[in-house]
Amino acid sequence: MDLKELGAVDPESHWYYRSKYAGLQRALSDAGGGSFDRVLDVGAGSGFFSAELMRSGTCSGRVCVDPNFADSQLSATPDNVFVREATPEVVGSCDLALFIDVLEHVDDDVALLRGYAALLSPGAFVVVSVPAFQSLWSGHDEFLEHRRRYRLHEVNRVVEDAGLVPRTSRYLFGTGFIPAWLARKVLSGGEAKSQIKPLTPALDRVVGAWFATEHRLIRNRLLGLSAVVVAQSRSSR
């Protein structure tokens, strides 16, 4: 979750983040990822996704990296490390790396991903998620200071150019594409602001269950709000 949206909604109880986590977890499982010792959460923001991996027992420790962390967010306990910049030794100690909605924020997405990929241990898994389809560009992207949105083949190419080996890729929130397009192009008015809003608890549960089920059952390569690639670092350098 982007730090700019922290406080607007609670990711632990919001349908978007819960169902997105279900989609990321399914993609990771489909790529052959099981349990991990330590996850590197790059551009972690709230750290929601790596925290969920720890709660589910998928990993036993995490390193959250975000240059925008406030002093109060920094920590260095054995299982929970929050830093503004990770050392090469720390990156190399992680067998899973998350780049959840990170690459769209930087001018050179390949360089950022390649820099981390070069430090990961051989065979480490990497999960990349980015906003999908430039046609969905709106004030939401401007508020979050995005540079671009991606089609699936574009983010696959970024992953490959960074020296990683893609294992599986898909879109998430496919059934939400048309409602989102209408909301962003017709209803929003183009104002630069977050479009993540809380719902009533009952509606939140229904929407979250819908998308979580979609993500678990459908390997969607046609369209969606997010594009996800799971890859691995090369077994030899």
Work out the angle between the directed axes of helices 201-217 and 15-30 (0-180°, nearest 10).
Answer: 10
Q: Residue 114 and residue 106: Cα distance in Å, rounded?
A: 13
* Three-class DSSP category at 139: helix
Q: What is the pLDDT of residue 169?
A: 97
pLDDT tens track for 171-195: 999 999 999 888 887 766 567 776 7
Predicted structure pTM score: 0.93
- Is residue 237 a part of any domain in this protein? no
Domain range for residue 13?
Answer: 3-232
How many domains in the chain? 1
Say whether pLDDT at 4 is over 70.
Answer: no
If you average pLDDT over residues 90-117, what whole number do you get? 97
pLDDT tens track for 72-89: 889 888 789 999 999 999
Q: What is the CATH number of the domain that holds 98?
A: 3.40.50.150
Q: What is the pLDDT of residue 56?
A: 93
- Is residue 164 a part of any domain in this protein? yes
Q: Cβ(176)–Cβ(224) under 8 Å?
A: yes
* Three-class DSSP category at 172: strand
Q: What is the pLDDT of residue 1?
A: 61
Q: What is the pLDDT of residue 85?
A: 95
DSSP symbol at 183: I
Q: Residue 12 and residue 52: Cα distance in Å, rounded?
A: 9
